[in-house]
Amino acid sequence: MSQATAIIVGASSLVSREIAKQLAEQGVELALLAQDTESLKEFSQSLPTQVSLHELAIERPKDIIATLESIWQQLGGAHLVIVNTGLNGYDASLPWQLEQDIITVNVQGYSAICNTAFRLFVDQGYGQLAAINSIAGLRGGPSVAYHASKAYASSYLEGLSMHAQRLKLPITISDLQLGLLDKAAMQQSRLWLSPPHEVARQALKAMQKGKRRAYITKRWRLVAWLTKLLPEFIYNTRHWRTKEERKAARAAKKAQ
């Protein structure tokens, strides 16, 4: 296969579009998967490379497998598969439906995509699977299923990487752990919010270097390190009291 090819699963997100743009500028042929392919039509036509659009039905694993296999046939294989799907949500009353939806997309759908891409790479003999994950997976958190799903996603990739080594195949598995993303892309001066084009640039650089794991953007490495290190009574900010609460507690103590 002489033409470089990449498949982007979850292509409608801002970061995926930025990655698609930057890959297209390098002449990489693209297959983009999204729930609503119609919404990507104009964007795909603006890219300076060959692009095909495919429907992504993430809640139906059999359809994901069939779609990826059919794209593989059409492209004659692929060098790179990027997985950038994800669902997040928070409701303090923890309704089951939200938890189930997150598990369906971030665990079931994600596994079907990564498993299929890996098996296709094994048949091909080489390739790179890169998934955009989150440092949220390093610890539990208020969006319970989301944090847990991101821990699962990371562990799943580590397992695939071990399989590639066992098979002695040059299949690179990259776990790209995002910090916070500036979706509005208008707050670039904010220290911790990274604009999508910079996230995409750093993600592609990490992929090109064949990194097993990278924190995107780089400054989130420090947060990740601290997150892993902190004891639960500090990490769990719900224990912390506000200035007013501390003042009220002191006043109550004095009054006793």
Q: Using CB under 6 A as the criterion, which residues of the chain lie in contact with ligand NAP when the complex forms? A: 10, 12-13, 15-16, 34-36, 56, 58-59, 84-87, 105, 132-134, 178, 180-181, 183
The residue sitting closest to ligand NAP, measured at its beta carbon, is 86
* Smallest separation (angstroms) from ligand NAP to the CB of 243: 28
Residue 181 and residue 195: Cα distance in Å, rounded?
Answer: 6
* Smallest separation (angstroms) from ligand NAP to the CB of 141: 12
* Smallest separation (angstroms) from ligand NAP to the CB of 246: 31
Cβ(171)–Cβ(115) below 8 Å: no
Cβ(11)–Cβ(40) below 8 Å: yes
Residue 149 and residue 140: Cα distance in Å, rounded?
Answer: 10
Nearer to ligand NAP, 35 or 124 (CB): 35
* Smallest separation (angstroms) from ligand NAP to the CB of 252: 39
With 0-12 / 13-18 / 19 or more C-beta atoms within 10 angstroms meaning exposed / middle / buried, residue 57 is middle
Nearer to ligand NAP, 54 or 79 (CB): 54
Nearer to ligand NAP, 5 or 84 (CB): 84
* Smallest separation (angstroms) from ligand NAP to the CB of 227: 13
Nearer to ligand NAP, 83 or 171 (CB): 83
Nearer to ligand NAP, 153 or 244 (CB): 153
Cβ(32)–Cβ(51) below 8 Å: yes
Nearer to ligand NAP, 183 or 241 (CB): 183
* Smallest separation (angstroms) from ligand NAP to the CB of 220: 9
